[in-house]
């Protein structure tokens, strides 16, 4: 039988055990909450970085399409006989993303476009009460993007209106149409997560939702439903172009209210603001630390058993398990931080590309305006009655040179578009390098003579032939020689040499020019990159030449690199397979 003292001891032990277990449970819950808060913060930061990456991708894609159409509108000196059809066909086939490109004349009638199956020829905007955007660009003289509307084909589409002015006279607009589904399929459809992603425009219209919970083409801003009202508040922030994080509740399939985390980031392009939202239930955060919950639950059960048999052993076990839990939480946190760093680096790269593209647009405007001004001035001279034959010949030569300059720029843009889309085609053949080099040197002879620069060709007579695309290899040599001559002071030298290895040839083009600073060497092959991108730079160009050269060389299995010393010279080195 138990004595009163034994019973008292048993009660005391039971009370102490209960208090210890309750303390452990309390500390476990508190530890779980702290771990969950840390992981939730890291998870939310990760989702926001991913959101920013998607938004910048869409923004870059849409701005690129606008730039291509604006270049066509600015480069023409008059409306061509085919009403731009050949230009439209080239851009449509070489640059993916367009549903249709059309020319609307000054009376508001669609008279040309590509492809023909998506072209309502003869359709008049004024007769069909659809002239609002047309009149807007005529008055503003600026590119205008209409709000997303339902197309004749039943899908949502966005319409880009670019005004066409020739010598100050309005000649209509170039209208490009992009299906919203083409944009979402490219950037959002492959989003993989237990949450879902959606796209909203500046009017609050849902353009895409991969969960199918939000109704497309519906405005959720004026809803009176309590749950949707919470999400509507977030939508309001999105259409204002803000970036951030929010919370709302949604109803699950079994009727429960589930708390969700949503991150959102804006897409800004001309007069439009879209926003991408990524929604994840809070349960996704719990799943990241599920193993922590399991181990901590087991720890509490075992602690309750061992407390009754030995407090010292329990204390030691407690220390061991707590250490394991801390290490695992730290490991999970480290993994998420590493992922965030990768996304942050990618976003920094996207910002750099966006800055380069902004500088490129400024440069293209300058490069287009300069030859146009020269051609206009020359044309005005030709109109003068007292203009003699020698002046006429000089003016015509100036016009032809500037037309060639614009043609080269459009060619560079199409080349880089083909390279990036993988549509560039090579026609390899057995080629004599002596012939290639001689043709290239003749091509740049007038420029080298003008600057009194000597080009030395130091190639062995028994140099083996290579299998390559002859025309594109000439393009590589001409571009590199042009660069060498441009950046070499008057009276300098340019040398072409080669080194033969077992399976390939190494070609070298060396100049005695101004050289390249070490912090620019790794970037000169980047698209749109220019060492001097200001409007006062001494040497013009689009910043695409070296990127095109790299695409041609690497597209045929070769490599290209550069060695340079400031104020001494630069050597471009590329390989060709035998």
Least confident of 109-123, 163-177, 510-524: 510-524
* Average pLDDT score, the chain: 80
223-282 pLDDT per residue, tens: 555 446 667 788 888 888 889 888 877 766 676 777 888 889 999 988 899 999 888 887
The confidence score (pLDDT) of residue 316 equals 53
Give strand pairing partners of 174. 103, 162
Between 12 and 268, the higher pLDDT residue: 268
Beta-strand pair 257-269/428-431: unpaired
Least confident of 106-120, 217-231, 328-342, 495-509: 217-231
**Architecture category of domain 188-285 in CATH:** 2-Layer Sandwich (3.30)
The confidence score (pLDDT) of residue 132 equals 92
The confidence score (pLDDT) of residue 537 equals 44
Q: Are 53 and 350 in contact (CB under 8 A)?
A: yes
Which of 159-163, 182-186, 292-296, 391-395 is modeled with the greatest confidence? 159-163
Cα R_g (the chain), whole angstroms: 33
What is the rounded average pLDDT of the residues 191-218? 81
Taking residue 206's Cβ as centre, other Cβ atoms within 10 Å add up to 20
In our burial notation (b when 16+ CB lie closer than 10 A, e otherwise), range 287-319 reads ebbeebeeebeebbeebbebbeeeeeebeebbe
Which of 12-21, 286-295, 343-352, 481-490 is modeled with the greatest confidence? 481-490
The confidence score (pLDDT) of residue 438 equals 93
Res 290 pLDDT > 70? no
Between 562 and 289, the higher pLDDT residue: 562
Residue carrying structure tokens 């996207």:
350
Q: Are 350 and 314 in contact (CB under 8 A)?
A: no
The confidence score (pLDDT) of residue 260 equals 83
Euclidean distance between CA atoms 284 and 260, whole angstroms:
9
User: What are the CA-CA distances from residue 6 to residues 13, 15, 17, 489, 516 (Å)?
Assistant: 10, 14, 16, 105, 91
Domain ranges of the chain: 76-182, 188-285, 352-406, 428-577
Between 19 and 355, the higher pLDDT residue: 19
128-154 pLDDT per residue, tens: 999 999 999 999 999 999 988 888 878
Residue in 198, 238, 205 with CA at minimum distance from that of residue 220: 205
What is the rounded average pLDDT of the residues 320-336? 77
192: which 2 tokens? 């993989």
The confidence score (pLDDT) of residue 383 equals 72
SS3 of 540, please?
A: coil
Domain 188-285 identical in fold to domain 352-406: no
Res 121 pLDDT > 50? yes
Res 8 pLDDT > 60? no
Res 309 pLDDT > 70? no
CATH number of the domain located at residue range(s) 428-577 in this protein? 3.30.565.10
The confidence score (pLDDT) of residue 533 equals 42
The confidence score (pLDDT) of residue 454 equals 93
Instruction: Give the pTM.
Output: 0.49
Between 297 and 516, the higher pLDDT residue: 516
Report residue 536's pLDDT band, with 50, 70 and 90 as the boundaries: very low
Q: Are 278 and 314 in contact (CB under 8 A)?
A: no
Least confident of 74-83, 101-110, 294-303: 294-303
Beta-strand pair 493-500/454-458: parallel
Residue in 344, 267, 345, 340 with CA at minimum distance from that of residue 54: 267
Euclidean distance between CA atoms 232 and 221, whole angstroms:
5
The confidence score (pLDDT) of residue 125 equals 92
The confidence score (pLDDT) of residue 455 equals 93
What is the rounded average pLDDT of the residues 346-363? 66
The confidence score (pLDDT) of residue 326 equals 74
Burial of 425 (0-12, 13-18, 19+ CB in 10 A): exposed
Give strand pairing partners of 166. 169
72-86 pLDDT per residue, tens: 888 767 888 888 888
Between 536 and 520, the higher pLDDT residue: 520
The confidence score (pLDDT) of residue 105 equals 94
Class of domain 76-182: alpha beta
Match domain 352-406 to its CATH number in 1.10.287, 1.10.10, 3.30.160, 2.60.120.
1.10.287
What is the rounded average pLDDT of the residues 394-407? 73
Residue in 75, 65, 270, 263 with CA at minimum distance from that of residue 178: 65
Cα 137 to chain centroid, rounded: 27
């Amino acid at each position: 039988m138990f004595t009163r003292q034994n019973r008292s001891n048993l009660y005391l032990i039971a009370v102490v055990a209960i208090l210890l277990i309750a303390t452990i449970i309390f500390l476990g819950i508190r530890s779980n909450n702290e771990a969950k808060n840390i992981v939730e913060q890291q998870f939310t930061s990760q989702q926001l970085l991913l959101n920013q990456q998607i938004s910048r991708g869409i923004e870059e894609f849409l701005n690129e399409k606008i730039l291509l159409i604006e270049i066509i509108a600015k480069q023409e000196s008059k409306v061509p006989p085919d009403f731009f059809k050949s230009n439209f066909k080239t851009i449509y086939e070489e640059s993916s993303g367009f549903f249709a490109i059309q020319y609307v004349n000054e009376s508001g009638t669609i008279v040309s476009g590509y492809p023909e199956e998506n072209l309502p020829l003869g359709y008049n905007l004024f007769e069909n009460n659809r002239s609002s955007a047309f009149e807007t660009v005529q008055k503003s003289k600026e590119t205008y993007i209409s709000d997303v509307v339902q197309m004749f084909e039943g899908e949502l589409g966005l319409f880009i209106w670019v005004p066409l002015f020739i010598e100050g006279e309005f000649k209509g607009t170039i209208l490009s149409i992009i299906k919203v589904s083409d944009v979402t399929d490219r950037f959002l459809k492959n989003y993989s997560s237990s949450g879902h992603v959606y796209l909203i425009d500046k009017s609050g219209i849902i353009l895409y939702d991969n969960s199918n919970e939000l109704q497309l083409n519906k405005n959720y801003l004026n809803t009176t439903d309590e749950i949707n009202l919470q999400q509507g508040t977030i939508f309001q922030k999105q259409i204002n172009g803000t970036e951030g994080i929010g919370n709302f509740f949604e109803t699950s399939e079994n009727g429960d209210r589930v708390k969700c985390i949503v991150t959102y980031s804006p897409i800004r392009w001309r007069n439009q603001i879209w926003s991408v939202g990524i929604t994840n239930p809070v349960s996704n955060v719990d799943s990241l630390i599920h193993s922590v919950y399991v181990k901590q639950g087991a720890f509490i059960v075992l602690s309750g058993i061992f407390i009754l048999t030995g407090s010292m052993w329990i204390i030691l076990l407690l220390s061991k398990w707590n250490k394991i839990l801390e290490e695992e939480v730290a490991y999970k946190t480290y993994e998420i931080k590493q992922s965030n760093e990768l996304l942050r680096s990618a976003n920094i790269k996207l910002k750099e590309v966006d800055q380069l593209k902004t500088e490129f647009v400024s440069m293209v405007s300058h490069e287009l305006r300069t030859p146009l001004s020269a051609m206009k001035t020359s044309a005005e001279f030709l109109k003068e009655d007292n203009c003699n034959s020698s002046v006429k010949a000089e003016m015509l030569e100036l016009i032809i040179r500037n037309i060639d300059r614009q043609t080269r720029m459009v060619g560079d843009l199409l080349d880089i578009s083909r390279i990036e889309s993988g549509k560039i085609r090579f026609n390899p053949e057995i080629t004599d390098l002596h012939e290639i080099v001689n043709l290239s040197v003749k091509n740049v002879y007038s420029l080298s003579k003008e600057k009194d620069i000597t080009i030395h060709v130091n190639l062995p007579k028994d140099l083996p032939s290579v299998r390559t695309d002859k025309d594109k290899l000439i393009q590589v040599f001409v571009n590199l020689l042009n660069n060498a001559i441009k950046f070499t002071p008057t009276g300098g030298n340019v040398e072409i040499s080669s080194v033969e290895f077992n399976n390939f040839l190494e070609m070298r083009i060396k100049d005695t020019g101004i050289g390249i600073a070490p912090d620019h060497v790794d970037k000169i092959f980047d698209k749109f990159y220019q060492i001097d991108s200001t409007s006062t730079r001494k040497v013009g160009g689009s910043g695409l030449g070296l990127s095109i050269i790299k695409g041609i060389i690497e597209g045929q299995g070769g490599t290209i690199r550069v060695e340079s010393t400031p104020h001494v010279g630069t050597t471009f080195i590329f390989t060709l397979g035998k």
